[in-house]
Amino acid sequence: MIQIKDLSYSYDSDIALRNINLHIEKNTTCAIIGPSGCGKTTLLYLLAGFIDYTEGEIYIKNEKVKGSRKETGIILQDYSLLPWKTVWHNVALGLKIRGISKDKIEKEVDDILHELDIHELKTKYPAQLSGGQKQRVTIARTLIIKPDLLLLDEFTSALDAMTKENIQNLILNIYSKKPVTIVFVTHSIEEAVFLGQKIVIMEKAKIKKIIDNPYFGDVEIRSKIDYYNICLEVRRWLREGKTYENN
Partner 1 sequence: MKTIEKIIKTKTLYGIITILIIWHVFHITVESNVIPSPYETVRRFIVLFPNTLSMHLLASLGRIMLAIGISIILGVPLGLWIGMNKKADSIISPVIYILYPLPKIAFLPIFMILLGIGNTAKVTLIVTIIIFQILIGVRDGVKEIPRELYYSAVSLGVSGAGIYRHLIMPAVLPRLFSALRLSLGISISTLFFAENFATTYGIGYYIMNAWTMVDYLDMFAGILSLSLLGLLLLRSLDMAERKICPWMFLK
Site membership for partner 1, residue 80 (CB under 8 A):
yes
Site membership for partner 1, residue 21 (CB under 8 A):
no
Binding segment toward partner 1, per CB under 8 A, in 71-79, 161-169, 181-189, 223-231: 71-79
Strands 206-212 and 198-203, sheet pairing? antiparallel
Site membership for partner 1, residue 127 (CB under 8 A):
yes
Name which of 100 and 221 has its Cβ closer to partner 1: 100
Distances (CA, A) of 87 to 15, 84, 124, 136, 189: 39, 10, 6, 10, 31
Binding segment toward partner 1, per CB under 8 A, in 15-23, 32-40, 125-133, 160-168: 125-133
Site membership for partner 1, residue 145 (CB under 8 A):
yes
Best CA proximity match to 109, nearest among 148, 144, 71: 144
Per-residue b or e along 163-186, where b marks 16 or more CB atoms closer than 10 Å to that residue's CB: bbbbbbebbbebbeeeebbbbbbb
Name which of 60 and 193 has its Cβ closer to partner 1: 60
Find the binder of partner 1 among 34, 39, 94, 132 (CB under 8 A).
94
Contact 204, 42 (CB under 8 A): no
Length of the chain: 247
Distance CA 173, CA 167 (A): 10
Name which of 45 and 216 has its Cβ closer to partner 1: 45
Site membership for partner 1, residue 148 (CB under 8 A):
no
Q: How far apart are the first and last CA of the chain?
A: 38
Site membership for partner 1, residue 157 (CB under 8 A):
no
Binding segment toward partner 1, per CB under 8 A, in 17-25, 73-81, 202-210, 223-231: 73-81
Name which of 70 and 236 has its Cβ closer to partner 1: 70
Name which of 97 and 232 has its Cβ closer to partner 1: 97
Distance CA 110, CA 104 (A): 10
Site membership for partner 1, residue 93 (CB under 8 A):
yes
